[in-house]
Amino acid sequence: MQEFLQQVVSGIATGGIFASLALALVLIYNAMGLVNFAQGEMAMFATFVAYALVTRGMSYWIALPITLVVAFAGGLLIQRVVIRPVERAPILTLVIITLGLAALVNGLAGFIFGYVPRSFPSPFPSDTVDLLGVFVSYRDLGVIGVSGLVLLGIYLLLQRTTVGLTLRAAAHHPEASRLLGVQVSWMLALGWGLASAVGAVSGIMVAPILLLEPNMMQSIIIYAFAAAVLGGIESPLGAVVGGLVVGVTINLAGAYLPFVGGDLQLAVGLAIIIAVLIIRPNGLFGRAAVRRV
């Protein structure tokens, strides 16, 4: 039982990482009805920026906000340069462009930082603490704490500030927002910047667990897809719940299903995606899609 609980807690920690990336996907989906296939690569690139700062002697807690600002600016820039000219293009075009973006960012990271896997420092000590009879590592607690803070921050921003209100308005009713004086295009750019920053958090949190290299996020993005789809792709709350469920599920499956083990955890992610899409395409929190004919 105790081991089971420990698996659940460490599942929640990985789930928090997936939730951040899934939330980034949801932010962009809500802004323009698009799944950003480059989200993981953008997060990976931001993590490299954090790595470069930390290895140059900067404190982790100063490097983190700087990286988030850089990631925000990067997301904004990408939206302005690459996405904006094709905003109204068919969805097929947009998906192919984000895939191109993923390949490009991946290659650039390899070009600038190389393909040698590096260990990324964790600001949390690696010992464990006894929490009501369950041994939890400080790292897991730290990851849960940081992810929770980020998710709370995004929630407050979207629900309690004027910027958040404008952002949601621009996403849901672009025409009406434009009539009311909202600069819809810039709101989309803001959405991309926010998503990029939130995704960067997931990259920085996962880097100490995996090793930092350009293909680091390739499996994480699959789990994030699974989380976003499970949560109903347009619901921020759904992304968080989905992330936690996916994190716990793959952890338990890896620990208790001998067939799955460590190397087929990714296949569990795929199975979740396919099962949700077939059984309940709108996920847990999504609305049924209404199509106008």
Partner 1 sequence: MLQRIRTAPPRYWLVAIVVIFFVGFPTVISSFQTSLWTQALVLAIAIMGLNILVGYSGQLSLGHGAFMALGAYTSAILAHHYKLDYLITIPIAALLTGVVGFLFGIPALRLSALYLALATFALAVVTPSLIKRPDALTGGVQGILVIQPDPPQFAQDTFATVTGTVMSSDQWIYYVALFCALLLFWVAWNLVRHRPGRAMRAIRDGEVAAAASGVNIAGYKTMAFGISAFYAGTAGSLFGLATGFVSPDTFPVSLSIQLLVGAVVGGLASIPGPLLGAIFAYFLPIESNQWVPSQAWIPVQIASTVKNAGPAVSYGVVLIAIMMFAPNGIVGLVNSGYAALNRRLRGAGDRETGQMPPDAQTV
| Residues 56-75, interacting with partner 1 (CB under 8 A) | none
Q: How many whole angstroms separate alpha carbon 121 and alpha carbon 28? A: 30
Q: How many whole angstroms separate alpha carbon 17 and alpha carbon 185? A: 29
Binding to partner 1 by residue 101, rule CB under 8 A?
Answer: yes
Q: Which of 215, 172, 163 is nearest to 193 (CA)?
A: 163
b/e map 144-167, b = 16+ CB within 10 Å: bebbeebbeebeeebeeeeebebb
Q: Are 52 and 257 in contact (CB under 8 A)?
A: no
Nearer to partner 1, 56 or 292 (CB): 292
The pair of three-digit structure tokens given for residue 72, joined into one six-digit string: 């925000």
Q: What's the closest the beta carbon of residue 181 comes to partner 1, in angstroms?
A: 30
Per CB under 8 A, the list member of 199, 238, 269, 286 interacting with partner 1 is 269
Q: How many whole angstroms separate alpha carbon 65 and alpha carbon 85? A: 30
Binding to partner 1 by residue 257, rule CB under 8 A?
Answer: no
Neighbours of 123 (CB within 10 A): 16
User: Which region, judged by CB under 8 A, interacts with partner 1, from 42-50, 171-179, 202-210, 259-267?
Assistant: 259-267
Binding to partner 1 by residue 127, rule CB under 8 A?
Answer: no
| Residues 19-48, interacting with partner 1 (CB under 8 A) | 33-35, 37
Nearer to partner 1, 69 or 91 (CB): 91
Binding to partner 1 by residue 289, rule CB under 8 A?
Answer: yes
Task: Count interface residues toward partner 1 (CB under 8 A).
Answer: 47
Q: Are 203 and 43 in contact (CB under 8 A)?
A: yes
Residue type, 160: R
Binding to partner 1 by residue 95, rule CB under 8 A?
Answer: yes
User: Which region, judged by CB under 8 A, interacts with partner 1, from 146-154, 163-171, 187-195, 258-266?
Assistant: 258-266
The pair of three-digit structure tokens given for residue 125, joined into one six-digit string: 């000590």
User: Which region, judged by CB under 8 A, interacts with partner 1, from 6-14, 61-69, 160-168, 270-278?
Assistant: 270-278
Q: What's the closest the beta carbon of residue 125 comes to partner 1, in angstroms?
A: 33
Q: How many whole angstroms separate alpha carbon 59 and alpha carbon 52? A: 12
Q: Kindly give the interhelix angle for 236-256 and 265-279, rounded to the nearest 10 degrees.
A: 130
Q: What's the closest the beta carbon of residue 215 comes to partner 1, in angstroms?
A: 9
Per CB under 8 A, the list member of 58, 169, 252, 266 interacting with partner 1 is 266
Q: Are 211 and 229 in contact (CB under 8 A)?
A: no
Q: Which of 72, 68, 27 is nearest to 164 (CA)?
A: 27
Binding to partner 1 by residue 227, rule CB under 8 A?
Answer: no
Distance of CA 200 to the CA centre of its chain: 8
Per CB under 8 A, the list member of 69, 73, 99, 156 interacting with partner 1 is 99
Nearer to partner 1, 4 or 115 (CB): 115
Binding to partner 1 by residue 134, rule CB under 8 A?
Answer: no
Q: Which of 221, 219, 279, 13 is nearest to 122 (CA)?
A: 13
Binding to partner 1 by residue 161, rule CB under 8 A?
Answer: no
The residues that touch partner 1, with contacts defined as CB under 8 A, are: 33-35, 37, 82, 85-86, 89, 91-93, 95-97, 99-108, 110-111, 114-115, 218-219, 222, 225-226, 229, 263-264, 266-267, 269-270, 273-274, 277-278, 281, 289, 293
